Amino acid sequence: IHVFRKEDKLRKFRRDSSFYWDGRWEVFEFDDLARETRYRTSSGTRSLRKYDSKKRLIENYLTNGKGDTLISEQYFWGSERLVRMIENGLERKYIYGKNSLDTIRVIPSDHGVRSHSGYDGSVGKIPSENDPMYKFFALDPYKYTKHESDDDESDNSTYNVFALFKLPSEGLPNFFCKEIRTTHGMPPVECIRYTRKYVSQRANIRYPYPHKNGLFIYGEADSELPKKINCKCIDGKFYIDYKHKPINEYIQVVMSGWRYNNAENTWMESCWMQNELQSTYNHETFHIDNMRKAADVFYLKFFKEEPFDTEKECLRKGEEQLFLLELAWGLWYQDEKKHGGDRWENKVYGEYREGIRCTN
């Protein structure tokens, strides 16, 4: 990999380019004056994000190499709160209570938006403006979720942002899971099979369950970059200490899917075959591997091992570099979740599964 950077400090413009051994390339552009970030790849992927003066996301677009629009979003803010968004033409409104312990209402519900479980019906899931994690939420509301710390070496400034991304796993255990051939070094796999009662209480009869954008979800995989910066003192100088390896990795495989049968007026379950479950697992491991590689590349792009005279200056510079890293990660991440780019090797997600009638 070859990494190049061009920077115009007067115009507050920066371009980072990466060229890979197999001919692929990707370019990130950060335009502070225009308050925009852009992302382009050799496969034709293009992404644009715009921010307001408070560095809050206001527009987000993603197109693939064919020119198809995969993501089109506008965000509207009021009194530091997200009050409205428009996703691919669909408008959602956010209604808050008097304090953070009141339930948030989203109309219509935002459950299942991209890789996010949604804010509708949650309590305290959207941080207040005085929360140290508010800046990460404002950068990308549907990549962020807040939770308690799980880092043994940290205080509450470290967040496990995936606690609410996962598919809800209430339901029945399934014996097929133990027969999935797992890959060494990957996170443990969780297998999910939902009960009829669970589905009937939560699902919309117009869509299969579980689903995103009307299509079955066969599995999920995710990870996150740490959001904590430290500085270490070596021979009287301070150096940024950032552990960039992805955290909170997980893989989930869905055992079956549910559709509403209008003729019988009930939900019907279809089970996926063992080879399909294995394909789903293999597919999710590619996501984890891609995220690990991307974390290494982004660390090379945005972090420099330079000495600082004071810890304060070191932490300030570290926060600036982490901010750029988060901007770039957000652009790359949404392309990855949409299975974009010519790096992708396993297309199982594009296959439609009819399944077989479940017998147990």
- pLDDT value at residue 176: 55
As a whole number of angstroms, the distance between CA 90 and CA 109 comes to: 11
Identify the DSSP state of 138. H
Residue 154's pLDDT is: 34
Alpha helices in 159-310 (DSSP H): 196-202, 274-302
How far apart, in whole angstroms, are the C-alpha atoms of residue 231 and residue 240? Answer: 5
| Residue 183 per-residue DSSP state | P
Each residue's pLDDT, cut to its tens digit, for the chain (360 residues) gives 788 889 888 888 999 888 988 888 999 999 999 999 999 999 889 999 999 999 999 999 999 888 888 889 999 999 889 999 998 888 999 999 887 778 999 999 887 676 677 888 888 888 888 888 888 889 989 887 554 333 333 333 222 223 334 565 555 544 457 778 999 999 989 888 888 888 888 788 888 888 876 778 888 888 888 888 999 999 999 999 999 999 888 898 988 899 999 999 999 999 888 888 899 999 999 999 999 998 998 888 888 888 999 999 999 999 988 988 888 888 888 888 877 654 444 444 445 677 777 766
Q: By three-state DSSP, how is residue 326 classified? A: helix
- Sequence-distant (6+) residues with CB within 8 A of 326 are 136, 139, 140, 225, 227
Check residue 3 and give its pLDDT. Answer: 83
Share of the chain residues as helix, strand and coil, in percent rounded to the nearest 5: 20, 30, 45
Q: Token digits for 70?
A: 């995969």
pLDDT given at position 145: 58
pLDDT of residue 309: 94
Gap between the Cα atoms of 280 and 178, Å rounded: 14
Please give the Cα distance from 201 to 203 (Å, whole number).
6
CA atoms within 13 A on the CB side of 291: 28
pLDDT at residue 351, as a whole number: 56
- Interior/surface letters 154-182, b for 16+ CB within 10 angstroms, e for the rest: eeeebbbbbebbbbeeebeebebbeebee
Distance CA 224, CA 290 (A): 12
Query: What is the chain's length?
Result: 360
| Residue among 77, 84, 73, 14 nearest 47 (CA) | 73
* Cross-sheet strand order for the sheet of 247-254: 189-192, 247-254, 219-224
109 to 44, 197, 331: CA distances (angstroms): 32, 21, 25
Instruction: Say which DSSP state 20 is in.
Output: -
**pTM beyond 0.75:** yes
- In angstroms, rounded to a whole number, what is the distance separating the alpha carbons of residues 64 and 340? 7
